[in-house]
Structure 1
Amino acid sequence: MNAQKHTPFLLALYRLWRLLWWLAGACWRVFRFGRLSSKQRDAAMMGIAERLLKILHIRLNVSCHAQCPANPPVLAVANHVSWLDIFVLMALYPSGFIAKQSIRHWPVVGTLAAHVGTVFINRHSRTDAGNVNQTIARTLAAGQSVTFFPEARTSDGLNVLPFKAALFQAAIDTDTPVQAMALRYLNPHGQRSTAVAWVGDTPFFASLWRIARQPHITAQVDFALLMGSGYTDCADRYQLKDAAEQFIRHKVNGDG
């Protein structure tokens, strides 16, 4: 195995400095969202995400791009490795996300999340899933895609945690297609990397610094065949969960 080299210290600091300018530009664009059409807002959000990935030298490698949910709405699901996952997916297609309530109060990120139609969930409440499903259903019915992470927490990216089925119900209630996506992060040698993983009690800035120190990272995104409305019409949420988990686990475990 090739030894992993880090980006020089000063270059990593330069990337963080560029992120400050990215943050300022993102704030300015978000505050102008009220003047933009929904298509313009979608394009702006995708541009913001693409810029972040470029600064951090995150390269996208997408398989089955024709399956990318470019024609909303879809209920999209992916495995969860890092805070970076949202920006990787946001750079590929317009969508709202499911996020924990505390993110709503994060500077800038919370505002960005709210403007793309994020549904904020109380992960400590078992009864909140029903209310969230109703909100997701309304968002899908309005023609906007929603993306969530069925593991409900991050892994190290080398395996997949068990999926939770509750939020798949919105796809059934609205006859909306389900799009499963597998995320993998690779180092410059094409080997699987845990540098992006944000697990345990790792502080956000420690995670950001670890990513900034990588020469570059490839985000591999594999799209499954779309589970169309005909499929969701005859399946229950557990069957949808099992089908999505099987595809994602197959890819993440290295069998795909």
Structure 2
Amino acid sequence: MSAVEHAWLPKATCDDSCVRAGGDRPDRPALATLRAARRIASALVLLPLVPFLAVPLPGRSRVQRLYCRMFLRCLGVRITVSGGPIRNLRGVLVVSGHISWVDIFTIGAVLPGAFVARADLVDWPAVGLAARIMKVIPIDRASLRRLPLVVGAVADRLRAGQIVVAFPEGTTWCGLAYGPFRPAMFQAAVDAARPVQPLRLTYHHRDGQPSTVTAFVGDDTLWQSLSRTVRARLTVVDVEVASLELPGDDRRELAARCEMAVRGPAIQRYRHQPALSA
């Protein structure tokens, strides 16, 4: 269904111009192609190991983090972690901005958990297999009536002591611009009386300039996003761990606190659309 029929659907204003704005510096085509072929070949070697991540063995969380970090390294993506310590707590809702399918592996390398993700994600090559292993909670963005069921499923998992990861923007943005945090998913933390861990994901090039090569926006296909990522010289993603937020009893107030923790003082600068009640 179209966004015209459902005005409440989150819709980013990002397009190809955003991706070009934070693209990689031009490189010799032959060198970029060789780099891409080597990285894709390395990633394909790791794919057969994905099913082993579901084996319930001691230390599985550590293995999942290591696997995600290795997979990103194969793609030419390095991770740095800054901010506060990562607390070993059960039943935490993890939230961050959403830029790319790469976010799944980035957060998986730091705080692996079950992801709330678009329902068709499980059908994607490679990413879909990882999503099933991580017990993704599917959400149909075109069906507002099913949203309470998803929120209830997230709350149940939080009560059971699981870590759940959600992207409250509801869609992907390029990383140079951002959307508002929708409060709906925060209701799960309120209902389960469990804390929220905000994470700030920042992608940049080796020289520190903002990067959009991993972005998955507009008319992008998965292959186009992957191709930009593996052809780039190096992409660095910094995961900044903000302070835990207690749930309180107001999902909108909780969403606002977490958005401020993720965006900081730049929150008003990057808002390109008004927040909706969902």
**TM-score surpassing 0.5?**
yes
| Distance change (3 Å), C-alpha of 1:246 and 1:200 | same
Pick from 189, 199, 214 the counterpart of residue 207 of structure 2. Answer: 189
- Distance in 1 of aligned mates of 2:263 and 2:84: 19
How many positions carry a matched residue from both structures? Answer: 244
Question: 1:108 Cα deviation (Å)?
Answer: 4.2
Pick from 35, 47, 72 the counterpart of residue 11 of structure 1. Answer: 35
Pick from 165, 170, 182 the counterpart of residue 152 of structure 1. Answer: 170
Verify: 1:96 aligned to 2:120, yes or no. no
Query: Residue type of the partner of 1:57?
Result: G
Q: Give CA deviations for 1:110-159 in whole Å, capped at 9, x if unaligned.
A: 33222323211111111112101111111111111101101111111012
Query: Residue type of the partner of 2:114?
Result: G
User: Retained in 1: the 8 A contact 2:69–2:79?
Assistant: no
Verify: 1:63 aligned to 2:87, yes or no. no
| Residue number in structure 1 paired with 2:251 | 237
Pick from 37, 42, 50 the counterpart of residue 61 of structure 2. Answer: 42
The more displaced of 236-245 and 114-123 is 114-123
What pairs up with 1:16-165 in 2 under 5 angstroms?
A: 16-27=40-51, 29-30=52-53, 33-34=54-55, 36-37=56-57, 39-66=58-85, 68-165=86-183
| Distance change (3 Å), C-alpha of 1:254 and 1:240 | closer
Question: 1:44 Cα deviation (Å)?
Answer: 3.1
Question: 1:5 Cα deviation (Å)?
Answer: 4.5
Question: 1:72 Cα deviation (Å)?
Answer: 2.1
SS of alignment partner, residue 131 of structure 1: helix
- Distance in 1 of aligned mates of 2:26 and 2:64: 32
Query: Residue type of the partner of 2:123?
Result: H
Structure 1: give runs of 5+ residues left out of the alignment: none
What pairs up with 1:198-213 in 2 under 5 angstroms?
A: 198-213=216-231
- Distance in 2 of aligned mates of 1:115 and 1:246: 32
| Distance change (3 Å), C-alpha of 1:11 and 1:105 | closer
| Residue number in structure 1 paired with 2:261 | 247
| Distance change (3 Å), C-alpha of 1:205 and 1:252 | farther
- Distance in 1 of aligned mates of 2:141 and 2:252: 19
- Distance in 2 of aligned mates of 1:218 and 1:81: 14
Q: Give CA deviations for 1:2-38 in whole Å, capped at 9, x if unaligned.
A: x8254632122111111211212324x25xx34x23x
Verify: 1:217 aligned to 2:273, yes or no. no
| Residue number in structure 1 paired with 2:244 | 226
User: Retained in 2: the 8 A contact 1:159–1:249?
Assistant: no
Q: TM-score, structure 2 length as denominator?
A: 0.81
- Distance in 2 of aligned mates of 1:251 and 1:188: 25
Structure 2: give runs of 5+ residues left out of the alignment: 1-23, 270-278
SS of alignment partner, residue 78 of structure 2: strand
- Distance in 1 of aligned mates of 2:82 and 2:76: 19
| Distance change (3 Å), C-alpha of 1:73 and 1:254 | same
Question: 1:252 Cα deviation (Å)?
Answer: 6.6
Q: TM-score, structure 1 length as denominator?
A: 0.88
User: Retained in 1: the 8 A contact 2:50–2:129?
Assistant: no
Verify: 1:180 aligned to 2:198, yes or no. yes
- Distance in 1 of aligned mates of 2:69 and 2:242: 23
- Distance in 2 of aligned mates of 1:251 and 1:213: 33
- Distance in 1 of aligned mates of 2:145 and 2:171: 18
